[in-house]
Amino acid sequence: MKTTELPSTPAAIRMWALLELVLAWFLPLATIVVFLAMWEYAGRLFSIPEFLLPSPSAIFRRLVLDWPQVWPHFLFTASMIVEGFLLATAVAIPLAIVIASFPSIERGLYPIIAFSEMIPKTIIAPLLIVWFGIGIGSKLALTALLTFFPILVDTISGLRSIDPQLYHITRSMGASGRQTFLYVQIPAALPFIFSGLKIASVFAVGGELLAEFIGSTNGLGFLIIQASNFMDLEQMFAAIVAVTLQGLVFFYAIALLEHVFTPWARPDR
């Protein structure tokens, strides 16, 4: 059976890398453009009223015109997402290190953490509103709760992913437990940690929006609910686009940090 040979010369390797880069950027952009074009012209072709399904051009125009009013809500939601995410990270990673290091603590804590994660957050959200009010506290709490578990689980998995033989090798070379942790365990766990952070970034956006839907006077979630009450679908879709942009920027910012801090885990290595 004939197999495909990989390029071997430097020029061919550079050309292959350039082709992969073009495809990596072109295909997603082309898909988005085709989807928006179909949406735009389907509305005109089937005479769908704008008040039922606004066209992408109308949504974009509304977002640009209303941007001075949208911007404060955009900033509020973004700040709550980042702060809740950082709060969850600051608790989940140290707790994962403790759980991975002491099996007895895992047997005591992990079932409780897993059980609490099974409780739907849509049930907990009204309780948080009652306890913390409709201010910042309830939003940070709900966002942190939704992002906590993926970070915790992936960090534990990463810390335990090391081949046990490596511990014998480091001990035979005279490395202390602290040195083994810093120079072996942490680098090995970083790809897992960043995987959990990327998953948690998606949950962080959803958690913040849920908190704003239930009770808020600021944020893009509040703007979506307000537009829904007035049946203003253009503003609603404009706010949804703004939320989507936030989620994409947040996700790819974490992916960029992963690219910088884990060069050994890149596919091209």
What pLDDT, in 10s, does the model give residues 84-113?
999 999 999 999 998 888 878 777 787 787
Cα–Cα dist 98/191, whole Å: 19
Task: Report the 10 Å Cβ neighbour count for 95.
Answer: 18
The reported pTM is 0.81
Where exactly are the structural domains of the chain?
A: 1-48, 56-265
The arithmetic mean of pLDDT across residues 165-184, rounded, is: 75
What pLDDT, in 10s, does the model give residues 136-151?
888 888 899 889 989 9
Task: Report the 10 Å Cβ neighbour count for 263.
Answer: 10
Please tell me which residue, 148 or 47, carries the higher pLDDT value: 148
Domain range 56-265, CATH class: mainly alpha
The gap between the terminal CA atoms of the chain, to the nearest Å, is: 28
